[in-house]
Amino acid sequence: MINNTFKSGFIAIIGRPNVGKSTLLNNILGRKIAIISPKPQTTRNRILGVKNLSQAQLIFLDTPGIHRTRSGLGKRMVTTALAALEEVNLILHLVEPEENKWEKEEFVLEKLSSVTASVFLLINKIDTIAKESLLPLMRQSGSLGIYQEILPISALRGEGIDQLLDLIVGVLPRGPRYFPEDIVTDQMERFLAAEIIREKVFNLTEQEIPYSTAVLVEEFKEREGKNLISIRALINVERDSQKGIIIGKKGRMIREIGEKARLELERLLGARIFLDLFVRVQKNWSRDSRALREFGYQ
């Protein structure tokens, strides 16, 4: 039966690194499909998440943070983020609630100036500021004339999310249900496994280590009738010294990465997990286009 009031569309979540894009996606879906860390440039791929409402289907694209960069990996990340702008009905531009910091947003604003989709500004992390400081910020951003809506939210606490969903449905066109109702993401479980391991590296290591790490799942086997998945993954780093840091004194670091990743994957996948981690030095992979392809950073 044709339901001619049903609405659907694609919505890109964009912004500078670390503003809370992945946190927002997870909160909207009520489920973790994107990894999060307090460090910038955590997300490296486009992450698709589907939100089903009774009269609408919202398809969100979480993207890597947009920043000026010349590195091989960084350039690919920004290209991935900018490509999402072309495919969507609506763009959510996330910013941190800092006043008079629009110069930081210059690069993103430049990119937004040529898009055809509607754009909402989401001022995120409002749990970190005094309510009074919001008004001048909203006035400032309104004067830019770019945004159809300006909404303060807290992705972490889920504040403003219901109102955001209402506003999104308001601007989406009539359209079909693109994905079956039980699909939350198009990503494979083995990609999620690689990402969760990478998240633990991001959270447990410092300086350049997170940025020199890429995780490749070599084996992802579900043991029939046992509710058990065995995963073998390679943590790639760029130099020998980094390998030592990932392994840690007496193997302590890699054990902690493995333990944290295993516990979380057991929760997310609802199965017992055997997780085997190895560390490999793949010299300067972040500047090597073949390695970047191998690790899924097209």
Residues from 59 through 88 that contact ligand GTP (CB under 6 A): 64-65
Question: Quick one: what does residue 155 bind among ligand GTP, Mg ion, none, with the CB cut-off 5 to 8 Å set by partner type?
Answer: ligand GTP
Q: Sheet containing 56-62: give its strands across.
A: 47-53, 56-62, 7-15, 90-95, 118-123, 149-152
Stretch that binds ligand GTP, among 31-39, 226-234, 247-255, 283-291 (CB under 6 A): 31-39
What length is written for the chain? 298
Stretch that binds Mg ion, among 18-26, 138-146, 183-191, 224-232 (CB under 5 A): 18-26
Residue 21 engages ligand GTP in binding (rule: CB under 6 A): yes
Other residues' Cβ atoms within 10 Å of the Cβ of residue 80 = 19
The DSSP secondary-structure symbol of 237 reads E
Residues from 110 through 169 that contact ligand GTP (CB under 6 A): 124-125, 127-128, 154-156
**Candidate residues 8, 14, 33, 37; the one interacting with ligand GTP per rule CB under 6 A:** 37
Stretch that binds ligand GTP, among 37-45, 141-149, 208-216, 258-266 (CB under 6 A): 37-45
Residue 43 engages Mg ion in binding (rule: CB under 5 A): yes
| Site size for Mg ion (CB under 5 A) | 4
Stretch that binds Mg ion, among 16-24, 67-75, 92-100, 167-175 (CB under 5 A): 16-24
Phi, psi at 150, each rounded to 5°: -130, 120
Question: Quick one: what does residue 210 bind among Mg ion, ligand GTP, none, with the CB cut-off 5 to 8 Å set by partner type?
Answer: none
**Candidate residues 22, 45, 89, 212; the one interacting with Mg ion per rule CB under 5 A:** 22
Residues that bind ligand GTP (CB under 6 A): 17-23, 36-38, 40-43, 64-65, 124-125, 127-128, 154-156
